Amino acid sequence: MESNCIGGDGYKLFQMPNGIRVILDHNPTTQGVTTCIFVNGATRHEDADQNGIAHFLEHEFFKGTPKRPTQLDIAKEVVSRGAKNNAGTATDFTVYFIQAPAEFFEFTADIQSDMLMNPLFDAKEIETEKGVILQERAKYLDLPEVYISVLQDRVLFGADHPMGKDPVGTEELIKGYTRDDFIRFRNEWYHPSRLVLYVNANMNTGPQPFMEILEKYFGSYDGKAEIFITEQINASHFRNPEPRGDLIKKDTEQSHMSVAFPSYKRKHPKWMSSEVLACLLGGTMASRLFEEVRSKRGLAYSVQSYTDEYVEDGYMAVLAGLDSAKLQEALQVIGGILKAVRDDVTQEEVDNAKAFLKGESIRRWEMAMSKAIFYGKQALLDDSILNPADQLALIDEVTLDMVTDCAREICNPDMARFALIGPFDGYQNYLDTVVEAMK
């Protein structure tokens, strides 16, 4: 049976008979090819006794197949073709990618499918890789500017929810994983219906030659028919968490903090307005947070705001690395900015933020991996797929009134969550400082 073209506007979307969906993205100016496998199986899909396994499993797919028995065999084949491959585990998806000169497209399909379909999961290699994972975990624990996001998610989603746990896992669990654990998680989540292939290449000969190669290598993959249910975000906790903050006491010269608020889910009608709000708050060097916290007062080197959206819900967060001795002052300034933005956003700010978001989107789409993430996540998680023109049009539609409405809804002091890493004994008085400044 041939794959069925099921849509596409600026791209082609196919579905193989086994359920794998394929996005073919014609790039007339490229001399290379990017081939990705997106999997709707990641950190949020882990059971309590599987914390960190999605990320560990990602490593193990690179450790050998019967055709390519070792990691070095895989690496040599990739490097000898001028290619590079890697992978990443996010909260709600995992992606495996390879980029190569265009002439090696068939090779990219061959090696990607081999790694996905025929992993050895060698017990000895798993034991060796535990040391690598533990060192990766140690690295992030030593980087508070990175780990503050893990602490923030613990507050937002709850320490017992998969999305509130450290995505790398605990030392105890990492040390205890066996080959059977990896097979179990792969069988649970790596089903063809949960996979999306993405190819970015010059397809001036049309999509059919590319589909024929993909069908040759991926068409026989049937996975396992064990479809498990994703644990949903606990709405009652997300909107009314207890506690509202958390602290990691660490002897650092610089403190790292996050103040976050519930916002909107993926493709909510107000989603793009919240993106504009986050941008004018702390997304550029012309933003309020950058100007007031860094440029005027010198209280931070890094300060930013952003949004993150999931299928059920989302949040907006402010992150900053601050002088520990001036933390209270900085939090008063940040809280004041979050209060003011509810009422005094200007048309100029909205126009500038929209222009930046459009320009940043265009810059990202010129990079094949960014384009892959743009399309791949939508195909995995959403009912419909926006093309780049659709997203630019959504940005254009945002008005001053829409941004103000979002600011009043999101920047609510009663909904603030707070995370802090620094040399402190508690967080409550610092959370109180932000909340009082916002009132």
- Which pLDDT tens digit goes with each residue over 409-420? 999 999 999 999
Phi/psi at 75 (5° precision):
-65, -40
Instruction: Name the residue among 117, 102, 115 with its Cα closest to residue 75.
Output: 115
Q: How far apart are CA 301 and CA 306, in angstroms?
A: 17
- Residue 120 · residue 63 · CB < 8 Å: yes
Confidence of residue 27 (pLDDT cuts 50, 70, 90): very high
Quick one: pLDDT at residue 7? Answer: 60
Q: How confident is the model at residue 70 (pLDDT cuts 50, 70, 90)?
A: very high
Q: Tell me: the pLDDT tens digits for 123-170? A: 999 999 999 999 999 999 999 999 999 999 999 999 999 999 999 999
Please report the DSSP string for 399-431 in residue order. -HHHHHHHHHHH--GGG-EEEEEES-S-SHHHH
Q: Which two tokens stand for residue 101?
A: 């000169």
Distance separating alpha carbons of residues 162 and 165, to the nearest angstrom: 5
In angstroms, rounded to a whole number, what is the distance separating the alpha carbons of residues 129 and 347? 53
pLDDT band at 238 (very low <50, low <70, confident <90, very high): confident
- Rounded Cα distance, 253 and 335, in Å: 22
Q: What is the pLDDT of residues 335-384, one digit of tens each?
A: 999 999 999 999 999 999 999 999 999 999 999 999 999 999 999 999 89
- Tell me whether residue 359 is exposed, middle or buried, using C-beta atoms within 10 angstroms of its C-beta: 0 to 12, 13 to 18, 19 or more: exposed
Average the pLDDT over each of 7-21, 171-185, 262-276 and give the range with the smallest value: 7-21
What is the average pLDDT across 289-294? 98
Beta strand pairing status for 21-26 and 195-201?
A: parallel
User: Distance between CA 50 and CA 169 in Å, rounded?
Assistant: 8
Average pLDDT rounded to a whole number, residues 287-300:
97
Q: Does the pLDDT of residue 10 top 70, yes or no?
A: yes
Tokens encoding 285: 């060097």
**pLDDT value at position 242?**
82
| Gap between the Cα atoms of 111 and 30, Å rounded | 21
**Rounded Cα–Cα distance for residues 280 and 354 (Å):** 9
Map tokens 């589909």 to a residue.
211
Residue 157, pLDDT score? 93
**How far apart are the C-alpha atoms of 244 and 266, rounded to whole Å?**
24
The per-residue pLDDT for 35 is: 98
Percent above pLDDT 90 for the chain: 91
| Per-residue confidence (pLDDT) for residue 1, from 0 to 100 | 45
pLDDT at 227 over 80: no
- Ordered structural domains, the chain, with CATH: 4-218 (3.30.830.10), 235-438 (3.30.830.10)
pTM of the predicted protein model? 0.95
Average pLDDT over residues 373-396: 95
**SS3 sequence of 255-274:** EEEEEEEECCCCCCCCHHHH
pLDDT in tens, 38-66: 999 999 999 999 999 999 999 999 999 99
